[in-house]
A and B are shown apart, each in its own frame.
Chain A
């Protein structure tokens, strides 16, 4: 399991959850490690443009796309890491994303509620997504963001959340998983989401 270091994220917080679940992880910014790993985690705190610039300058753009789309490696994107999987973002300008999933990153529409959307909010699990197996309906997860993913394909939505308006809280499409919330900061239910991802990875290698 490789945790991709885009030189901007919050890496140890994610790593220690995997450790507590007994999974070996490596934090790396090296394209060869992407090739060698069984699964990838793309965490992220920060601004979209900076993260994409780092991904490009580290030479990770094509290796990440290949791992996700051609090699079908399991990928878990978290928060900004979820947004990076999209094709474009309108945060502080206009930026191209990894273009792995058909979605765009736009400022949250909140019907006048304050931004950023910070805090614990309950989600609705959609499309019986296996990422949320064993998690009670209406559970709270920790969110901190001003932008979110707008999906063209409703079938890939794994969870939604409401903050003024409904928005996409999680995605699941084949080998690609992503959460707008921070599972590593969401205590027991967050652990369960990561455990479900780990179970999927193990299933691929059983």
Chain B
């Protein structure tokens, strides 16, 4: 049986691990390569690394960092931040990322999703959607949550699937970094609207939030940042709680040596 993934998210800017609240108040917390090594030792399911300093108008991707993180990991990891074209994706995958995360560039040019999926397969392409609640739904924001697009998040998720996305990473801008729990309504609306896996993100603060993301949010995987960086909670603790709630998870015996 497929196991439900628990995915730490590492936000990076200028080569350093950051934390932010509602996409603002960014502060430095650690060296991301060291933290990647910690998650490897904890036999984490998967990592998502997002370079929030690289929106589409800025300089190229920090491929050295992609390589350094990949060197530490024997688990899949997805990289996002500044991916603008198929060449960027080719380079990032060559440097060890399993998947890429596309956000701003996908909204600007959805054909990129199709071109990337044709070349690497849909399973390599995560379309990330940052959404903010409005009076009548959820609006998509691009460029690290700074630019409102007027696009409805649920419609965009459906469209991204049609263009060939393999997964959707849905982040609530209002909940991100607050540790108040997911925006379950947003996650459920998106998860119910598409047939591809949806990764819930933004707001986890306690163990039961992981369970809620799956049971109430209908997500296929749960992602979190702050809770793993700022509290003693580990991905395995999250999985123990999910297991108690009847969700299938993978807990690899840490004693086993090949």
A, B in one complex:
yes
Residues of the A chain whose Cβ atoms lie less than 8 Å from the Cβ of B71: 12, 16
Q: Whose C-beta in chain B lies nearest to the C-beta of A48?
A: B121
B1-A189 in contact (CB<8A): no
* Contacts A/B (CB < 8 Å), 27 sampled: A10-B94, A12-B70, A13-B74, A45-B120, A46-B121, A116-B122, A117-B2, A118-B167, A119-B2, A119-B4, A120-B45, A122-B1, A142-B75, A142-B76, A144-B124, A145-B121, A162-B1, A185-B74, A186-B75, A187-B75, A188-B256, A188-B257, A189-B252, A189-B258, A190-B258, A192-B258, A195-B258
Residues of the A chain whose Cβ atoms lie less than 8 Å from the Cβ of B76: 142, 144, 182, 185
B197-A140 in contact (CB<8A): no
B3-A114 in contact (CB<8A): no
Chain B positions 219-258 with a Cβ under 8 Å from a chain A Cβ: 220-221, 250, 252-253, 256-258
Q: Does A62 contact B (CB under 8 A)?
A: no
A45-B124 in contact (CB<8A): yes
Instruction: Give complex CA distance A114, B3 in Å.
Output: 13
Instruction: Give complex CA distance A22, B220 in Å.
Output: 37
**Contact-residue bracket for chain A:** 35 or more
Contacting residue for B74 out of A140, A163, A186, CB 8 A: A186
Chain A positions 160-202 with a Cβ under 8 Å from a chain B Cβ: 162-163, 182, 184-192, 194-195
Q: Does B155 contact A (CB under 8 A)?
A: no
Q: Does A92 contact B (CB under 8 A)?
A: yes
B3-A120 in contact (CB<8A): yes
Binary contact track A30-53/B, C-beta < 8 Å → 1, others 0: 000000000000000111001000
Binary contact track B1-32/A, C-beta < 8 Å → 1, others 0: 11111000000000000000000000000000
Residues of the B chain whose Cβ atoms lie less than 8 Å from the Cβ of A129: none
A116-B166 in contact (CB<8A): yes
Residues of the B chain whose Cβ atoms lie less than 8 Å from the Cβ of A91: 121
Q: Is the interface of A mostly helix, strand, loop or mixed?
A: mixed
Instruction: Give complex CA distance A195, B256 in Å.
Output: 14
A190-B74 in contact (CB<8A): yes
B2-A163 in contact (CB<8A): yes
Q: Does B179 contact A (CB under 8 A)?
A: no
Highest count of chain A CB atoms <10 Å: which of B3, B94, B123: B123
> Chain B residues in contact with chain A, CB under 8 A?
1-5, 40, 43, 45-46, 67, 70-71, 74-76, 93-96, 98-99, 118-124, 166-167, 195-197, 220-221, 250, 252-253, 256-258
Binary contact track A107-138/B, C-beta < 8 Å → 1, others 0: 00000011111111110000000000000100
Q: Does A98 contact B (CB under 8 A)?
A: no
Residues of the B chain whose Cβ atoms lie less than 8 Å from the Cβ of A189: 252, 256, 258
A116-B121 in contact (CB<8A): yes
Highest count of chain A CB atoms <10 Å: which of B1, B40, B122: B1
B2-A121 in contact (CB<8A): yes
Instruction: Give complex CA distance A15, B40 in Å.
Output: 17
Instruction: Give complex CA distance A145, B220 in Å.
Output: 16
B95-A12 in contact (CB<8A): yes
Residues of the A chain whose Cβ atoms lie less than 8 Å from the Cβ of B43: 187-188
Contacting residue for B121 out of A13, A140, A146, CB 8 A: A146
- 5 shortest A-B CB distances, which residue pairs? A191-B258, A116-B123, A192-B258, A120-B250, A120-B3
A185-B45 in contact (CB<8A): no
Residues of the B chain whose Cβ atoms lie less than 8 Å from the Cβ of A16: 71
Residues of the B chain whose Cβ atoms lie less than 8 Å from the Cβ of A146: 121-123
User: Measured between C-beta atoms, what is the minimum distance from A92 to chain B in Å?
Assistant: 7
Q: Does A150 contact B (CB under 8 A)?
A: no
Q: Does A17 contact B (CB under 8 A)?
A: yes
Contacting residue for A144 out of B123, B195, B258, CB 8 A: B123
Q: Does A61 contact B (CB under 8 A)?
A: no
